[in-house]
Amino acid sequence: MDVFDELLGGLRAEGAVFGRSVLTPPWALRFADAAELTLCVPLAGEGWIVREAGARAVRVREGETAVVRGPEPFVFAADPADAGRPELLRDVRCAEADGLPGAEVDGRPGAELDGRTGGEAEREPAGGAVLMAGAYRVRGEVPQRLLRALPPVLVVPDDEEDLAGCAALRDFFQAQFTAGRPGRQIVVDRLLDWLLVCTLRDWFDRPEAAAPGWYRAQGDEVVGPVLRAMHRAPERPWTLAGLAAEAGVSRTTLAKRFTELVGEPPLTYLTQWRMARAADLLVRSPETVAAVARRVGYADAFGFSAAFKRVRGVTPSAHRRAVGVG
């Protein structure tokens, strides 16, 4: 398993969001879910993402996908100036069953998705927009490492390699919204997950992304195999010599190359990764501290507890109590 797979493995839409509204200008939707990530996909038309006052507004057109990092609220509006008009603001909470709020179409209420998916939209008005949105709750220390590498707002066009088929995908989304077939919620959930993964992967490959060292290093012939080995089997009693053997180089070569690309020595990275996984296991699993210790490469609970407190500032038991487990 590579680093990106591991960090994205826990991200699931979880039925948290799916709504579509036909919107006629002026309009302004305030996303107030406090979600860690929100996916915004204009199926038709365009809009502007506006975060806090003074922040640069970001335009998102049909044929582009935007990811907004939370948990702060943001506004998706027909025009940046509309975001500052209280009379236009309509709160959106993707996790609620009523989806996105409807807008007026030719003076009549516009159709919207009621429930998660389903419902039939009115025709798109001239100059209007059709928006699909998905909110993601990001739980745990492992995916937080990914979130910390993202800008507040990123926009990726469909012409990127992974998203080249998105024009057809948008049509499929439209069909799923209006079809009455069983299982459409799961279909849309998983399609949004796929869209999120492809969008993030294409973003990191763009020059302006300033991708973190661990992402860039995955393709390196020396560091890449070592990163994959650590993530595939963090429980192994790795030494610098053992990691160097994975890459077929000397310990000195590995230490120098790894630090240059990733920004920290290999064993330091390994410890941080083990502690992130352990923090999640302590929250999600009823296993004892000793069992968690073994799963992340420590022979006994004492050594693990000392390392955990050194890295995280609290003992494993205190961490577990702090989140109400055990």
CB-CB contact of 310 with 316 (8 Å) = no
Q: What pLDDT is stored for residue 1 in this prediction? A: 56
Q: Which CATH architecture has domain 3-209?
A: Sandwich (2.60)
Check if the beta carbon of residue 33 is closer than 8 Å to that of residue 74: no
Q: How many CB atoms lie within 10 A of CB 148?
A: 9
Q: What pLDDT does residue 93 have?
A: 72
> Whose CA is closest to 133, among 204, 183, 196, 82?
196
**Residue 319 phi/psi, 5° resolution?**
-60, -45
The hierarchical CATH code for the domain 216-322 is 1.10.10.60
Hey, do 3-209 and 216-322 end up sharing a CATH topology, with the first three levels equal? no
Could you write out the DSSP letters of every residue in 62-99?
Answer: TTEEEEEE-SS-EEEESSGGGGG-TTTEEEE-TTSTT-
Question: Where in the chain are the domains?
Answer: 3-209, 216-322
Cis status, amide bond into 71, omega within 30 of 0: yes
Q: What is the pLDDT of residue 98?
A: 39
200 with 67: CB under 8 angstroms?
yes
pLDDT value at residue 179? 61
Hey, which residues does 92 pair with through a beta bridge? 31
What is residue 276's predicted lDDT score, i.e. its pLDDT?
92
3-state secondary structure of 189: helix
Report helix, strand or coil for 19: strand
Task: Name residue, tokens 């309009």.
Answer: 27
134 DSSP β-pair partners? 39
DSSP bridge pairs for 104: 109
* Helix boundaries (H) for the chain: 3-8, 141-147, 166-178, 184-204, 213-216, 223-232, 240-247, 251-262, 266-284, 289-295, 301-312, 316-322
Would you state the pLDDT for residue 137? Answer: 80
**In a 10 Å sphere around its CB, with 0-12 CB exposed, 13-18 middle and 19+ buried, how is residue 135 labelled?**
buried
Give this prediction's pTM.
0.78
> Cα 212 vs. chain centroid, distance in angstroms?
15
Going residue by residue through the chain (326 aa), what tens digit of pLDDT does each one get? 566 666 666 565 544 344 455 678 888 999 887 888 898 888 888 999 999 766 889 999 988 999 999 889 999 999 999 998 999 998 877 654 334 443 332 233 333 333 333 333 444 555 578 888 888 887 778 888 888 889 999 999 887 665 666 666 666 766 666 666 666 667 777 778 888 888 888 888 888 888 888 888 988 999 999 999 999 999 999 999 999 999 999 999 999 999 999 999 999 999 999 999 999 999 988 899 999 999 999 999 999 999 999 999 999 999 998 876 54
CA distance 132 to 76: 11
133 Cβ neighbours under 8 A, 6+ residues apart: 17, 18, 19, 31, 38, 39, 40, 41, 76, 92, 94, 100
Which tokens hold the place of 209? 């992304």
> How far is 19 from 94, CA to CA, in rounded Å?
7
